[in-house]
Structures are given as structure tokens and as C-alpha cells.
Amino acid sequence: MGAATMTSRILGMVREMVYASFMGDSAVASAFKVAFQIPNLFRRLLGEGALTAAFIPIFKTQEAQAGEAAAWNCANAVLSGLLVAAGAIVAVVLLGLSLTLQFIEMGPDTWLMLSLLRIMFPYMLLVCVAAVLIGMANSRGYFFIPAMSATMLNVVAIASVLVAAPMMGETLSEQIYALAYAILVAGVAQSSFVAPLLHRQGFRFRWVKPWGNPIVKEVVRKMIPGTLGVAAFQINVLLISCFSFFVADYIVASFDYAVRLMELPQGVFGISLATWMLPALSGMAGRKQYDEFRSTLTEGLGYLAFVNALAAVLLVVLAEPIVRLLFERGAFGAVATHRSALALMCLAPGLVFFSSVNILARAFFALGDTKTPAKISILCLGVNLILSLILVFRFKQAGLGVANSLTSFLNMVLLSMALRRKLSKLTYTPLLKMGAKLFLLAAIAGVAAWAGLGVWRNYVGNANLFAKIGEVFAPALLAGICYLLGAYALRLPQVMKFLESVRARLNR
């Protein structure tokens, strides 16, 4: 799962590098990114978010209690309902956008953003179908191929810049439409990527009337309160991006590049772990194996904190070298590097919190509770909006990073407390003890990275590609060695269990 997600995230980073060189952090870039965030938000709300979280436990229950045929019928009912609901949303939004563009006067940047949105919005329907199919495959025990479906978006997007964009016109405002049409092509590819695997498993799509269907009713009942529960961060990003688009034309693009950099470690391990844990925890809850449920949850949170604590420190200390290496070329200059690096430094401290929220929310979903995460997320959403509106005027994209990090910490704390009340024997004491050790190790790794960066800049610099690569990886390697040696000296269970696993494999 991690390997597949790593492949997708690396391609996603290549996509962002190509985007940065093509359009920098210009007003056109911000218009495109805001327009894409809107169907992407609906995708996370209706697809990868609340719908999938509500659907997978029901699908697993049907499979266990009524057999495979009942599970496939359940999936067909949900897919039929999704096609109706998402299709209606797409039709209404496209009509509204067409009327707005035709009859309302607006600035050129706003007109471009809405025009791009009109092209890309049907992506929501395509990728929602893909998300349900992926959820079905995960429930059947398949993770690698479904995780690889995300690569389709990145491959098509990269090709749109390198091949299609030059044929769309001479100016950036004309060429950007190639990227919008590519999103639709990617949606078709994503929605059909997992279909052959499910076909071999025995799934055949058949229309099942969704209205009045008890399975659809149950999914909708659990989905509605969870809509904000899973996607609070994405809603925050979207709402604040729309507001920031009118504060300064570079804020949205600068902040989005920082978000993409943070999502690389978050996706490789955090999202992979959360994706695996939902069906696993759902199965334990269904069998009432609550001791195993608690131990699996806390062990997963421990591994998550161990991996992402180091990643967060490196993203803070090495923010500018990382942005310079990946993005600074073409239309993305030194000023854009400084802007995105500043946003990343303020956003990265929340990496562990962002990832923990994903896992804690899925623990609630596995227990059949979608209301509690929703209530907490609504509260955090309000806090984030207030903080962002206060900070964005003075600190621009850095203010957005600080607001999101603080809000994610609050979200994690509230979810942890609520889950502790729901599972009376759940204890966080081992995690808190480990957290104190990780804080010390992260501080040591941060100092090592800072010192290594200073030495590299004094003696090598960053004048060429080799020097830029070394500016990132030499301090990161030094910090990683210090972190792992410290973890071994403290006998952290994550390191010791890994070494035991390696020894066992070598002995076999």
C-alpha cells in the first residue's frame, strides 16, 4: 500500500513540478487551483470521505452475514444512488456556472476561474465512482492496484502540460484550458482502472433502484453527519482559498504548492495506514474484538507519529531547499520559492496532527459513529475560518499554514478525548510517553539538519542541480541517522519491532 501510494505521490510531485515551471504562482495558477479544488472537495466529501467511510462497514457486514451476492447487490444500490445524486449536482452546477458566465460582469481572473471550473466539475462524478470501486476492492483485501489508480491523474496532467498545452494557444490564459480538459480524461481513467479487478472478483454492475432501498438509506444516514467529519481540512482549504484569491493573486498557488509537499509524507504513510485501518477496524468491531481494536489503533498511531515526526522536522528546517530543488525553474522564480517555503514551514508542524485525525476519524466510522467526528470537525472548521481570516491579511500564505496547523491539533485532541469516552479501556499513556521521546528525537534531528544545511551552504552552495540535490539530502540523511540512532538508544518499539522482523526474515 505504501509502495503504491509512494509511486502516486512521486508522480504527483512531478506533476506539481511541471505545473510550477509552466505557470508559477501567478494569478492564472491560482485560478486553476481554486477551480480544481471545488470538484476535488466534492470528490472527498462524496467519494473518498463520508460515503466510503459509511459504505465499507455496511459492505463488509453484508458480505459476512448474507454472502457475496448480497454484498455485490449492496454495492450496485450505492453506485446507482451515487450516479443519480452526483449527476444531479453536476447538472445544476454546470447550469449555474453557464448562466453566471453569460450574464454577470466580473474581473478577468474570476471569469477564468469559473470558466475552468465549468470544464472540470464533472470530474466529481467520475472520481466519486472510482472511490466507491476502490473501497470495494479494499474491502475484498486488495490495496496495491486500487492505490495505483491515483497515478492516472498525475500521468494525464503531466502529459497535458508537455503535449497538449502548446496546441491550445500562445498565452498562459489560453494554454491553461489543456490542463482543465486533462482532469476530465484523468477522471475517466481513474474510474475504469479498478473495474477489471472487480470483474475478476465477480462484480457486475446492474442498476438497482436506489430510492427506498434500505442499504442506500443506511449509507445516507451515516454519510450525512460524516460529510464534514472526514473532509474538514479540505473544506477549510477551499473556503479560505476562495477568500484568499481576492486578497492577493499569489496566495492560493503558493499555499497549494506547500500543501502538496506536505501531502507527500502524509499520503505515503498516513493515508495508506488510514485506508488499511478502516476495513481492518471495521472487521474487529463487527466481531466485537475490542481489545484487538484498541491495540491496533494505538499501535497504528504510534507508527504514524514515529514516521511523520521526522518528516515534519525536515519539512520545516529544509523548506526552502526543498522548494528550490523541486519547483524553482521556468515561471517559478526565487520570490515564488520564498513564498511557498514560508507557507510550508508554517504548515508542516501539523503533519502528525493531520494524519492522526484521519486515523481517529476512521476508528469512529468503524464503530458505526459518524456524528461525533462531524460535530468536532464543524467546531474546528469554525475555529480555522476565524484564525485564517485574521491571519491571512497580515501574514498571507504563512497565516493559512499556522491556522491549519493549530486547528488540526485541536481536532486531534478533541477526537482523542471523545474516543476515550467511547472505548472506556482505551489509554493513551504509552503514546504520551513515546511522544515525549519523539519530541526530543525530533529536536535533535532538527538541529542536525540545520547544522548540515549550514555547512553545505558554506562549502558547496546551491548553484547547480547537484548542489541543490545535496542541499536537501545531505542534511536530511544526517538528521535521519541521528533520529534512528536516538530511537534505537531509547529502545522505541517501532524500531525494535522492525529490527526483530528483519532478523526473523534473515533467519528464515
pLDDT digits (tens, 9 = 90+) for 39-65: 877 666 655 556 777 787 888 888 878
Q: What is the number of structural domains in the chain?
A: 2
**Cα–Cα dist 278/346, whole Å:** 30
**Whether 194 and 251 share a structural domain:** yes
Using only the alpha carbons of the chain, give its radius of gyration. 23
Alpha helices in 245-289 (DSSP H): 251-265, 272-286
Residues 82 and 182 both lie in one domain: yes
Q: Could you tell me if 369 and 301 lie in one domain? A: yes
* Sequence-ordered list of residues with C-beta below 8 angstroms from that of 162, at least 6 positions apart, any chain: 18
Q: Do 149 and 36 fall within a single domain?
A: yes
Same domain assignment for residues 417 and 461: no
C-alpha cell at 469: 540535490
Show Cβ contacts of residue 398 under 8 Å, excluding neighbours closer than 6 positions. 342, 343, 345, 346, 391
Which residue range forms the structural domain that includes residue 185? Answer: 2-427
- What size, in residues, is the chain? 508
Cβ 135 vs Cβ 276: under 8 Å: no
Provide the grid cell at 121: 466539475
> 184: which residues sit within 8 A by CB, 6+ positions away?
119, 120, 122, 123, 126
pTM of the model: 0.77
* Per-residue pLDDT band at 1 (split at 50, 70, 90): low
The reply to whether 422 and 324 lie within a common domain is: yes
* Residue 94, φ and ψ in degrees, nearest 5: -65, -40
The sign of the torsion formed by the CA atoms of 319, 320, 325, 326 equals: positive
Residue pair 310/272 in contact by the 8 Å Cβ criterion = no
Domain stops at, among 370, 405, 427: 427
Residues 188 and 290 reside in one and the same domain = yes
* 157 and 58 part of one domain: yes
Give the model's pLDDT for residue 437.
94
Q: Are 442 and 476 in contact (CB under 8 A)?
A: no
Span 78-110, pLDDT tens digits: 899 989 988 999 999 999 999 999 999 998 989
Q: Are 132 and 55 in contact (CB under 8 A)?
A: yes
Q: Mark which of 405, 427, 449 sits at the end of a domain.
A: 427
Written as nine digits, the cell of 326 is 523541486
**445 phi, psi to nearest 5 deg:** -65, -40
Does the pLDDT value for residue 13 go beyond 90? no
Shared-domain flag, residues 397 and 436: no
**pLDDT tier for residue 419 given thresholds of 50, 70 and 90:** very high
CB-count exposure of residue 374 (10 Å: 0-12, 13-18, 19+): buried
Answer yes or no: do 445 and 421 share one domain: no
Cα angle at 322 between 316 and 323, to 5 degrees? 100
State the Cα–Cα distance between residues 300 and 258, nearest whole angstrom. Answer: 26
Q: What local confidence, expressed as pLDDT, does residue 427 receive?
A: 87
Q: What's the pLDDT score for residue 232?
A: 57
- Domain final residue, candidates 372, 402, 427: 427
Q: For 335-377, how does the pLDDT look when each residue is reduced to its tens digit (9 = 90+)?
A: 999 999 999 999 999 999 988 998 898 898 888 887 888 888 8
